[in-house]
Amino acid sequence: MKIKFFLLTFFVLFARGCDFYSTSLWFFQPNGPKGETNPLTSILGFGWTGLVISNVILVGLIIYAFYYYSFKYKPKRLSSVPAKLTDFVSELYFNEKGKFYNILFRMPNNKKVLLAHSGYVLIRVLIIGSFLATIHNLCQFYDVHVYNTYREIVKRPLFVIYALIFFSTLYFMLKAWNKEYEFTKNNL
């Protein structure tokens, strides 16, 4: 577990560094960060300093959550294992079966489970999202012909990037739940 923690922490820091480098190519142009799609810049108006500070805080929180998952988190012991994954997840987060749908709109009762699972999921999603943003920025900045053709086909690569981030979040969340479900079934 220690090797996986340090390896993924290294990859997330490397991926964020790549994203910062590729973003800096746009930020320090004579016309500034025109066309920057990061919501912190495009919606909230963050400049370079704001991006650095917010990313240090967010990446630090994600690494802490992953640290908690890797070294402190112990899967919850259940008296019996539910037959369905959704009931298992419902018991993990809300202490009772049949509340799986609450994940969409309620804060779980067991916040430590949420913290641990968030660490597992978000460190992986951040690596994927950072590399996607880096590829997008570099291809756009250096005017890569193949990428320009791709942009003509999809019209808004931002939507494709956000969709890939969304689906990777779902994938890794399901993977975390299944991993814990199998562990619980095998160790009851």
64 in Cβ contact with 119 (< 8 Å): yes
User: What is the rounded CA–CA span in Å between residue 50 and residue 66?
Assistant: 24
Residues near 109 by beta carbon (within 8 Å), at least 6 away in sequence: 93, 94, 95
Furthest CA-CA distance within the chain: 64
120 in Cβ contact with 177 (< 8 Å): no
Q: Give tens-digit pLDDT for 155-183.
A: 888 899 999 999 999 999 999 999 999 99
Would you state the pLDDT for residue 1?
65
Residues near 141 by beta carbon (within 8 Å), at least 6 away in sequence: 22, 25, 26
Would you state the pLDDT for residue 118?
97
Would you state the pLDDT for residue 32?
58
Q: Give tens-digit pLDDT for 121-145.
A: 999 999 999 999 999 989 988 999 9
CB atoms within 10 A of CB 5: 17
Model confidence, pTM: 0.90
17 in Cβ contact with 126 (< 8 Å): no
3-state secondary structure 161-184: HHHHHHHHHHHHHHHHHHHHHHHH
Would you state the pLDDT for residue 42?
67
Long-range contacts of 148-156 (CB under 8 A, 24+ apart): none
DSSP secondary structure, 61-120, as one string: HHHHHHHIIIII--PPP-SS--SSHHHHHHHHHHSSTT-GGGGGTS--S-HHHHHHHHHH
93 in Cβ contact with 114 (< 8 Å): yes
Residues near 2 by beta carbon (within 8 Å), at least 6 away in sequence: 70
133 in Cβ contact with 158 (< 8 Å): no
Residue pLDDT tens, the chain, 188 long: 689 999 999 999 999 999 989 888 876 766 655 556 666 766 777 777 888 898 999 999 999 999 999 999 998 877 788 899 999 999 999 999 999 999 989 999 999 999 999 999 999 999 999 999 999 989 988 999 999 999 999 988 889 999 999 999 999 999 999 999 999 888 87
User: What is the rounded CA–CA span in Å between residue 122 and residue 103?
Assistant: 16
